[in-house]
A and B are shown apart, each in its own frame.
Chain A
Amino acid sequence: MTSLALPGGEPAAPRSAARRRMSPWQFWGMMLIAPYVVVFLVFVLYPVLYGLWIARHPESYVKLFDDPVFAGSVVNTLVFLGVAINVKMGLALFLSGFFANTRPWIRWLSVLFILPWAVPSIPTILSFRFMLNPEWGIINSLIFQLTGADGPNWLNERWVALSMAMVVHTWKSLPFWTLILLAGRLAIPGELYEAASVDGASTWQKFKFVTWPSVSGLYLTSLILSTIWSLGDFNSIYLLTGGGPADLTHVLATLGIRYLRLDQVDLSMATIVCALPLVLPLVYFMMKRLSK
């Protein structure tokens, strides 16, 4: 940093002086860290400051709060986070216990299980989208063949469509969190379980007194991290419902982009600023945890 802050008047003399005072280790440290510092200043700091500058007018917020789509999106976002994250993390905790069993077929299954996370989300979300098509989709065809009745119009009703977006979101990210929690479980010494078995502990008691105390910290970290990332999940909503029907299934992430596409950048940035009270405390919590 000091080398960047030198006055520009007489470049040669002060720089060589600085170089003489600075060890080659510090000098090369600055040279090697400089590319990232430049990336940060140019593509994070400037955009964020520019964005906040765009979002400075109080009228933008008045306009935003008057838009019924905004209120709906806030509710959708909270429902999405409250339901999808807890269901997903609960499932991941349960499945990490399942995958901790050592059987050849379970090892094979775990290789398959990682697929949703390993493949890009666009084609698989579009695959879900067509499966849910009311006329041609495979799900309603099956319902018709089995019951003779027409299936629901999956993506055309607010809460059904939003639930389907949560299913897609869970499908995509469940493997990752299961792996993380599995790694946490495998780090627990086996003797603890053996001792518990000797004492005649039931499966539930083993979970409650051995597993949970060891993984609860990891579980909490994962829950917070998953909340932050899910707030930014644009694909699951946009590619499945496009925010429809009638803009009823938008979340804050897709709403911000919708305003941008409508050339209402002030509303777009205002939407993001409105999400900050939720994001920043979580980010602060994560930074505290990781920089320990």
Chain B
Amino acid sequence: MKLRDVTREAKLLLVGIPVALWTLIPIYHMLLFALSTKDEAFSGRLWPAHPTLSNFALVFEQKNYWLNHFWLQLWNSLLIAVAVGAITLFVATGAAFAISRLKVKGGRLVMNLALFTYFIPAAFLAVPMYKAMGTYGLLNSQWALILAMITLASPYAIWVLKQASDKLPVELDEAARIDGASPLQLFRLVYVPLMTPSLVAVGTYALLLAWNEYLYAFLLLSRDTDITLAVALGHFLSADDSPWELLMTTGFIYALPPAAIYYAFKRYMVTGLTAGAVKS
């Protein structure tokens, strides 16, 4: 019995250790570069002999050609992500409430159109979206990126909220109607408080989607003072002698907020977002 437990534990470790290495190596490599000087980073060492925070100082003081607008670009990323999160939440909550609770006419059709949008690969929608933004005169405006990301984030947001909202008992609405509540009172006093966990999950989802987006940001924005940090990271590649240690430092700073938000809201994210997907 004892021996069987030991072999079982050993078998688990045989899977667990490669999984840990596979997961951490690219992230460790990023951190290694962030803590090394350029010469050390390029020497192929596995750990920094003289770890230093000088790269972070260089980034924060914007002391490199590629980093001239670091703080502004960080602010752009934040502003766009928050705007997308807030507006998507507004659009999706209204739509989900109308479809699921108010049973609005045509709600089913709208839900299906939203799902259809969700399943079209974003890279394929990018080209027509780029052309349309040109027609609307929005190219090179941050509104173009905000509106595009709302378009991409809303369908899944509506779907998750509709799934969660269908689970609320109908008696709630009936009781509210009998008490003479208006639809808006039902929405504000009953629906939103009960839906809070799903709303947090959906808002976070939209916010992270916008913060992480590269392709749309890179197509729709071009001025150095307008672009997000994601696009700025991509720009590093256009030089032959890119300062990779600074690139990895900036990348590390850029990756921290989403990772922190993910872990902070893990409870909401996992239950809120996978609940829909698991139902098959």
Contact = CB atoms under 8 A, between A and B. Distances in A.
Interface of A: 1-2, 24-26, 28-33, 35-37, 39-40, 42-44, 46-48, 50-51, 54, 95, 98, 101, 103, 105-106, 109, 111-116, 118-124, 126-128, 130-131, 136-138, 140-142, 144-145, 171, 175, 179-180, 183-184, 187, 217-218, 221, 225, 228-229, 231-235, 238-239, 242, 253-254, 256-257, 260, 265, 268-269, 272, 275, 279, 282-283, 286-287, 289-291
A70 B11 CA distance: 46
Nearest to B233: A122
A290 B158 CA distance: 13
Nearest to B103: A29
Contacts of B121: 228-229, 231-232, 253, 279
B7 interface: no
Interface residues on B, range: 35 or more
A28 B188 CA distance: 13
B267 to A, nearest CB: 12
Given A26-B102, A127-B248, A136-B42, A283 B119 contact: yes
B27 A234 contact: no
Nearest to A182: B274
B278 interface: yes
B102 A218 contact: no
Interface string B87-103: 00011101101110011
A262 to B, nearest CB: 12
A127 B91 contact: no
A283 to B, nearest CB: 4
A43 B148 contact: yes
Interface stretch (B48-56, B61-69, B164-172, B252-260): B252-260
- Give the most central of A24, A126, A180: most B CB within 10 Å: A126
Contacts of B116: 283, 287
A46 B125 CA distance: 11
A291 B112 contact: yes
Contacts of B248: 123, 126-127, 130
5 contacts: A29-B102, A29-B107, A36-B91, A115-B23, A131-B26
A30 B99 CA distance: 9
A36 B106 CA distance: 13
A171 B25 CA distance: 11
Interface in B70-120: 90-92, 94-95, 97-99, 102-107, 110-117, 119-120
A122 B218 CA distance: 12
Given A120-B211, A121-B212, A138-B29, A279 B113 contact: no
Interface string B17-45: 00110111111011001000000001110
B6 interface: no
A106 B129 CA distance: 44
Contacts of A130: 29, 33, 244, 248
B12 interface: yes
Contacts of B263: 111, 118
B148 A36 contact: no
A136 B26 CA distance: 15
A98 B9 CA distance: 11
Contact of B124 (A29, A127, A180, A232): A232
A231 B126 CA distance: 13
B234 A239 contact: yes
B265 to A, nearest CB: 11
Contacts of B158: 36
Contacts of B125: 44, 47-48
A31 B184 CA distance: 11
Contacts of B105: 1-2, 26, 29-30
B230 interface: yes
A111 B43 CA distance: 32
A126 B251 contact: yes
A119 B259 contact: yes
B91 A35 contact: yes
